[in-house]
């Protein structure tokens, strides 16, 4: 059975975190075990991974994301990272030559960059909240 990520993007507006779209509307669902290792130490642990220890779900989680996460008993290894943390991380290779087409950090970095630019907000005001199934 494969392990999948359940990703959400949230933006902090006026001191409150709000979901941007629904599940996977900003970043798609995908299965990339190397990236799962970097995000949360799930399924694979590449050198330098994970970016940070798993944090669980944030206390100030948006109601939409909290409801989704609470509705699925199969989700585990929940955590979150700000766009600032993801964009400033020293990823191993900017060209990702060992990653298959459509995989790797670009899956999450490109949509986050686009959101930050479109909304004219700091990277610290955007976060990726996620959990996994079938870990």
Give tens-digit pLDDT for 88-120.
998 876 555 555 555 678 788 888 999 999 999
Q: What is the pLDDT of residue 101?
A: 57
Q: What is the pLDDT of residue 128?
A: 95
The model scores a pTM over 0.85: yes
Here the contacts of 61-64 (C-beta below 8 Å, separation 24 or greater) are 61/10, 61/17, 61/129, 62/8, 62/10, 62/16, 62/17, 62/18, 62/19, 64/8, 64/19, 64/22
**Whether the Cβ atoms of residue 135 and residue 42 lie closer than 8 Å to each other:** yes
Q: Write out pLDDT tens, residues 4-54.
A: 889 999 999 999 999 997 654 555 566 788 888 899 999 888 777 799 999
């Amino acid at each position: 059975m494969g392990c999948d990520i359940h990703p959400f993007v949230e933006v902090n507006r006026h001191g409150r975190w709000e979901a941007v779209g629904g599940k996977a509307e900003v970043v798609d669902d995908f299965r990339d075990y190397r990236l799962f290792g970097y995000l949360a130490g799930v399924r694979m642990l590449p050198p330098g991974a994970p970016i940070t220890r798993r944090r669980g779900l944030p206390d100030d989680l948006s109601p939409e994301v909290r409801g989704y996460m609470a509705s699925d008993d199969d989700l585990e290894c929940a955590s979150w990272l700000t766009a600032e943390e993801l964009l400033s991380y020293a990823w191993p290779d900017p060209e990702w030559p060992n990653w298959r087409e459509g995989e790797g950090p670009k899956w999450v970095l490109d949509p986050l960059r686009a959101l930050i630019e479109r909304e004219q907000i700091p990277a610290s005001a955007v976060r990726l909240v996620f959990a996994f199934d079938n870990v």
